[in-house]
Every structure is written in structure tokens, then in C-alpha cells.
């Protein structure tokens, strides 16, 4: 019996990943780096920005300006204010779930809180926000999911995870959890479902409609 749902935030509840991708490519373009949105999303799904920059610096010889992160944060704030939306259909699911739910994210707790408030879903969160900043290692390590299980006093079989990235799916599976690979965000590319299945996703939901059907089968919606 399911007692709790663990949602990722970026690319699962809110359509933020594509905003972040565009902001990063805009700044990196000033240093001569060129990559399409689709390829960037394919190469670096769910990774922390500092880890993405390490890869780009090493593989492409791009020098990252000292003020990069400050400028990126500014672009994120501006972009989110203008463009951030909940992923189509997710507000209905999030508000109507019979089972309590929490958010487990590589982003900061403050970022998750701001996102949920912006799309008017914060009041519907009846669980907690768990962030990688609370643990030693971010996803794809299982630490943040293990923290959620320990804090909520849940067994893995009592929980279902909804994740959009290979990084998140990998982390959840390492924690022994069942995972739905979600494909409803704007940054998702063809073949992403295969990547999530390769990482161990137990189910694939192309959009909120398919996720609704799956939740109904589990008896939580």
C-alpha cells in the first residue's frame, strides 16, 4: 500500500528546466560555447550546474567567467518570473492526491518553495521539501531519498517517486524505490523514455494524463 508520493520539482512539477537551459546557453555563448537546447538537455539532464560547467570546461576548453553564477542566478530569477509555469495537468494531480506528497530535489529548498508558490501549489504540499543541500551527495546518489524515507518513517515499498531525469531515477532506484519516469516537460527529447528505463524506471508516463491513469491504478487518485 502506498503511503507517500515523492515528486521531483524541476521538470516534474514545474516546467523550469527549459528556462534554466536557455539561461545557461545564453551565458555560455558569450564564451564561444555552442550547443542546441535539445543536445544540452540530452547531455546534462538533472545535473548540478557546477558539474555541467566542469564537463564543458574540460571537454570544450571553455573558460567560465568569475561572475558566471551571479549572472546566471539573475537570469534564472528574471526568466522564472516571466515564464515559469506548472507542467500541464500537474496542478490537478498535486491538489487531488489522496496520499500525502513531498518534494525531493537537487535544487535548494528555497528554490523549490519559490517555484511552488509561483505556480500556486505550495498550499497543496502536505509533506516536506527535501533538498540535496541537506545531504553530503546530490542525485544521482541516493542520499536525499534516504533522508526523505528516514524523516517520513517510510519503507521503500510504501513510496512512489516521480522523476524526469536519469539522474533522479538513478538516485531513487539506488534507494530501493519504485519510480515513474515522467516525460511531460518542455525540455524532454525523443528517446528520453529509453534513457529513464535504462536507469531502472518502473513506469513511464508521457504526460499528466498517463500519470493520472497510473495513480488511479495505485489507488492514490
What confidence tens digit (pLDDT) does each residue in 86-140 have?
999 999 999 999 999 999 999 899 999 999 999 999 999 999 999 999 999 999 9
Q: Are residues 57 and 137 in the same domain?
A: no
Angstrom distance (rounded) from CA 25 to CA 35: 7
Angstrom distance (rounded) from CA 50 to CA 53: 5
Evaluate if residue 153 carries a pLDDT over 80: yes
Evaluate if residue 45 carries a pLDDT over 80: no
Q: Give me the sheet containing 159-163, strands edge to edge.
A: 129-131, 101-105, 4-7, 159-163, 178-182, 203-205
Evaluate if residue 156 carries a pLDDT over 90: yes
Looking at residue 3, its pLDDT comes to 97
Q: Residue 118 sits in which domain range?
A: 4-16+85-218
Report the domain count for the chain: 2
Q: Quickly state the pLDDT bin for 6 (edges 50, 70, 90).
A: very high
Alpha-carbon distances, residue 3 vs 157, 210, 212 (angstroms): 9, 21, 17
14 backbone φψ class: left, alpha, beta (φ>0; ψ -120 to 50): beta
From 49, 64, 83, give the residue that closes a domain.
83
Give per-residue pLDDT as tens, 78-87: 888 888 999 9
Looking at residue 73, its pLDDT comes to 85
Q: Are residues 67 and 93 in the same domain?
A: no
Evaluate if residue 204 carries a pLDDT over 80: yes
Looking at residue 122, its pLDDT comes to 97
The CATH number for 144's domain is: 3.40.50.1000
Q: Are residues 122 and 214 in the same domain?
A: yes
Looking at residue 39, its pLDDT comes to 85
Q: What is the arithmetic mean of pLDDT over 168-175?
A: 97
Angstrom distance (rounded) from CA 95 to CA 121: 8
Evaluate if residue 211 carries a pLDDT over 90: yes
The CATH number for 38's domain is: 1.10.150.240
Q: Are residues 72 and 116 in the same domain?
A: no
Q: Are residues 10 and 101 in the same domain?
A: yes
Q: Are residues 75 and 115 in the same domain?
A: no
Question: What does pLDDT average to over the chain?
Answer: 92
Q: Are residues 73 and 92 in the same domain?
A: no
Q: Are residues 105 and 163 in the same domain?
A: yes
User: What's the whole-model pTM score?
Assistant: 0.84
From 83, 98, 124, give the residue that closes a domain.
83
Strands 178-182 and 203-205: parallel
Q: Are residues 142 and 183 in the same domain?
A: yes
Q: Which of 143, 99, 153, 95 is nearest to 119 (CA)?
A: 95
Q: Quickly state the pLDDT bin for 218 (edges 50, 70, 90).
A: very high
Element of type H or E holding 166: helix 166-174
Q: Are residues 25 and 115 in the same domain?
A: no
Looking at residue 109, its pLDDT comes to 95
28 and 124 Cβ atoms separated by less than 8 Å: no
Residues 6+ apart with CB under 8 A from 8: 103, 104, 105, 161, 162, 163, 164, 165, 168, 182
Q: Are residues 91 and 58 in the same domain?
A: no
Alpha-carbon distances, residue 122 vs 110, 125, 172, 173, 199 (angstroms): 12, 5, 23, 27, 30
Q: Quickly state the pLDDT bin for 16 (edges 50, 70, 90).
A: confident
Phi, psi of 137 (to 5 degrees): -125, 135
Q: Are residues 74 and 135 in the same domain?
A: no
Looking at residue 187, its pLDDT comes to 81
Evaluate if residue 46 carries a pLDDT over 80: no
Amino acid at each position: 500500500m502506498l503511503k507517500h508520493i515523492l515528486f521531483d520539482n524541476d521538470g516534474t512539477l514545474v516546467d523550469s528546466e527549459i528556462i534554466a537551459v536557455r539561461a545557461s546557453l545564453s551565458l555560455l555563448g558569450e564564451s564561444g560555447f555552442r550547443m542546441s537546447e535539445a543536445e544540452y538537455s540530452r547531455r546534462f539532464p538533472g545535473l548540478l550546474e557546477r558539474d555541467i560547467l566542469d564537463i564543458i570546461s574540460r571537454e570544450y576548453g571553455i573558460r567560465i567567467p568569475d561572475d558566471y553564477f551571479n549572472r546566471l542566478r539573475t537570469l534564472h530569477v528574471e526568466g522564472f518570473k516571466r515564464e515559469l509555469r506548472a507542467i500541464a495537468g500537474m496542478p490537478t494531480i498535486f491538489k487531488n492526491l489522496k496520499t500525502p506528497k513531498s518534494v525531493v530535489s537537487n535544487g535548494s529548498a528555497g528554490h523549490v518553495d519559490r517555484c511552488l508558490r509561483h505556480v500556486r501549489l505550495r498550499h497543496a504540499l502536505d509533506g516536506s521539501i527535501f533538498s540535496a543541500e541537506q545531504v553530503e551527495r546530490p542525485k544521482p546518489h541516493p542520499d536525499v531519498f534516504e533522508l526523505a524515507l528516514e524523516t517520513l518513517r517510510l519503507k521503500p515499498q510504501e513510496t512512489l517517486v516521480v522523476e524526469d531525469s536519469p539522474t533522479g531515477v538513478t538516485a531513487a532506484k539506488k534507494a530501493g524505490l519504485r519510480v515513474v519516469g515522467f516525460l511531460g516537460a518542455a525540455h524532454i527529447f525523443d528517446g528520453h523514455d529509453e534513457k529513464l528505463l535504462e536507469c531502472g524506471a518502473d513506469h513511464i508516463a508521457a504526460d499528466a494524463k498517463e500519470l493520472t491513469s497510473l495513480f488511479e491504478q495505485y489507488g492514490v487518485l
